[in-house]
Amino acid sequence: MGKLDGKVAFITGAARGQGRSHAVRLAEEGADIIALDMCRDLPTVAYPLATPEDLDETVNLVEKTGRKIVARQADVRDPDAVQSVVDAGVAQFGRLDIILANAGIMPIIGEGSHQRQAWHDAIDIMLSGVYNTVEAGLPPMLDAGRGGSIVITSSSAGLYVGGMKKSAKSAGGWGYVAAKHGVVGLMRAYAVAFGPENVRCNSIHPTGVATPMIMNEAFMQFGADNPEFAATMQNLMPVPVIEPIDVSNAIVYLCSEDGRYVTGVTFPVDAGLIIH
């Protein structure tokens, strides 16, 4: 028997990385999945983003667990597109219990990161996109009267800005930090507003995670060229990065009965980075 049997989870940025890991892990615990991802590159981001084939693989992996999934390509910057994905999923599954606002980019390196558009991309995807995600999912959650769980993916950079001391000073870098701090305020506001209806809201704050967001040629070269930046991102525990499953397991806790009275918290999964 899974910890999330009978539940339905809506996950953004689900084509690969943390989002795919969350989709598969929650499915293993019994949840059906509503998934979206933009599945296209951005000029302000120096590494390749997810593809439609990546989203297809997420579908395949979820279905291998025995659970069902509704997956669509959509941009979290477009509230109507996000709403259409939620509507399609709720029409199939009849409910929505969990919202994981996970979609994110890392526009902090490369020439594109210094364009003003990089600031807008960071804020529009990782702050406004979180708002669009939660607003699309809240109505069916509230209408059912069963409560629910919202988890917003922030970052260690939402609590700690050591990396900005050195080489990540760019329009995209500032936007990344602003968005990751901004969603903490949004999380607390949702926790206060909907706690009386048994809807919990928390943010999760990983250190570097072994996903294509940082495990790519452009980011590795940036770290090699700027060792002072890499030095500010060293974890307290003796691991350079954590695995996506480490974040997914924390999310299972926050979304299951194990975490039923946990709300309004900033939940680090950071190998001690922010206290180092």
**Active-site residue identified among 47, 131, 160, 176:** 176
The burial of 2, by beta-carbon neighbours within 10 Å (0-12 exposed, 13-18 middle, 19 or more buried), is given as middle
Q: What is the DSSP letter of 37?
A: E
Q: Which two tokens stand for residue 154?
A: 């922030």
DSSP line for 168-203: --SHHHHHHHHHHHHHHHHHHHHHHHHGGGTEEEEE
Alpha-carbon distance 251 to 37, whole Å? Answer: 19
Alpha-carbon distance 126 to 116, whole Å? Answer: 16
User: Where in the chain does DSSP place strands (E)?
Assistant: 8-12, 32-37, 69-73, 98-101, 148-153, 199-206, 266-269
The burial of 208, by beta-carbon neighbours within 10 Å (0-12 exposed, 13-18 middle, 19 or more buried), is given as buried
Q: Is 176 a catalytic residue?
A: yes
CB 34 within 8 A of CB 13: no
Residues carrying an active site annotation: 176
